[in-house]
Amino acid sequence: MKIFFILGIFVLYVRSAIAVCTSADACNDPAILGLETSECQDYHVFTTRGSTSPYPGHQAGLIWMICQSLGDCGYENIIYPAETTTSGRNAWCESAATGAAAGQKQLTEYSERCPDSKLIVVGFSQGASVTLDYLGGGGGPAFECVQAENPALDRTTIPGSNIVAAIVFGSYRRSANQTYSVKGGSVFDGSSPRTEEQLDGLNQYAGILRDYCNAGDPICTTGSEPEDIAQHLNYFDEYNDEAADWVIKTAQRALVGDGDAADASRSDPTSQPTSQATSRATSRVTSQVTSQAAGISTSVPSTPLPTGQGFALVAPLLTAYFATAFIVLNI
């Protein structure tokens, strides 16, 4: 019984802490951090990091690519704990609830101060769940706790009406077969499905929302076999080019008046970047640095991604695994 209990704790640890960004360079590149601002801009990105990752999180390179293409653009972190079950049984739920409240508050305050700015929201892992929570409403069971409920953001008034693109990767709380979901995991529920009320809240944003979920990702899918941790860690290695392309096009459509850009969101879920984007990519000056688990490739014309963009993600999981095995063997 003790063996199964400890193994269960380890599995829970992996599923809640899998997003950790352990490389100092990966989440803290000075060139990317230089884009952080609270000033009024044409485009302003709100980013929500994954569990225990330093700000701005794994999506740092994607934010760089988006802002380098859009021009007058920077980012702001959603300030929340990003804690996991390793900090306590209720830690993940309390963290996510805090993040959802912070997201709505920060977007509202910014839009009231900068009513002409167009907002882009990005989230990964726990941060993806939080992003969907503050857009469509959140709350409910997660892991072994219950997250406090929050209402959806109204799409017809600020800040909801100022959001021009929303993109998330590997969300814990998500539901299958939504029009805005893409990749092989889109046909599976997440570890915790959303309620009908929460889905109705998200459908306000369906035309400008994209939810990435890989088949086999143990966080955003349930029942997708074989489960593979790599499928949760490779989003920004595999999809940065097409994700940036989609965000840029969707945001630019909104700036010229096509606010919902529904055709962009509801394209083929398995599609790769458009031929035009692919053609551009072949002529770009590209810098790519990889490490043990995932990396980021550049996507901005003549603007290499800052160096040091590797994600050393596997080491803490292996450490936890061997520590758990040691405990089991010594019971």
Residue environment code for 129-166, b if the CB has 16+ CB neighbours within 10 A, otherwise e: bbbbbbbbbbbbebbebebeebebbebeebbbebbbbb
**Residue 36 DSSP one-character state:** B
- Position 177 scores a pLDDT of 96
Question: What amino acid occupies position 133?
Answer: D
Q: How many CB atoms lie within 10 A of CB 176?
A: 16
Q: Do residues 15 and 191 touch, judged by C-beta distance below 8 A? A: yes
325 Cβ partners below 8 Å, 6+ apart? none
How many beta carbons lie within 10 A of that of residue 323, not counting itself?
12
Cβ atoms of residues 184 and 220 within 8 Å: no
Joined together, the tokens standing for residue 260 give 């919902």
Per-residue confidence at 27, pLDDT binned at 50, 70, 90? low
Q: Among 40-44, 154-158, 245-249, 309-313, name the one with the lowest average pLDDT.
A: 309-313
Q: What is the mean pLDDT of residues 128-151?
A: 96
Which three-class secondary structure string do you get for 126-157? HHHHHHHHHHHCEEEEECCEEEEEECCCCCCC
Note the pTM of the prediction, 2 decimals: 0.75
Q: What is the pLDDT of residues 85-130, one digit of tens each?
A: 899 999 999 999 999 999 999 999 999 999 999 999 999 999 999 9
Q: Which of 128, 120, 156 is nearest to 253 (CA)?
A: 120
**CA distance linking residue 110 with residue 277, whole number of Å:** 32
**Helices of type H across the chain:** 2-17, 24-27, 30-33, 60-70, 91-113, 126-136, 196-203, 230-233, 235-238, 240-255, 262-265, 275-282, 314-329
CA dihedral 300, 244, 107, 219 (to 10 degrees): -130
CA distances from 192 to 49, 170, 188 (A): 19, 12, 11
Structural domains in the chain plus CATH codes: 2-329 (3.40.50.1820)
Give the model's confidence band at 299: pLDDT under 50 very low, under 70 low, under 90 confident, else very high. very low
Question: What's the pLDDT at 191?
Answer: 86
**3-class DSSP state of 210:** strand
Asked if residue 61 lies in contact with residue 26, where contact means CB atoms within 8 angstroms, the answer is no
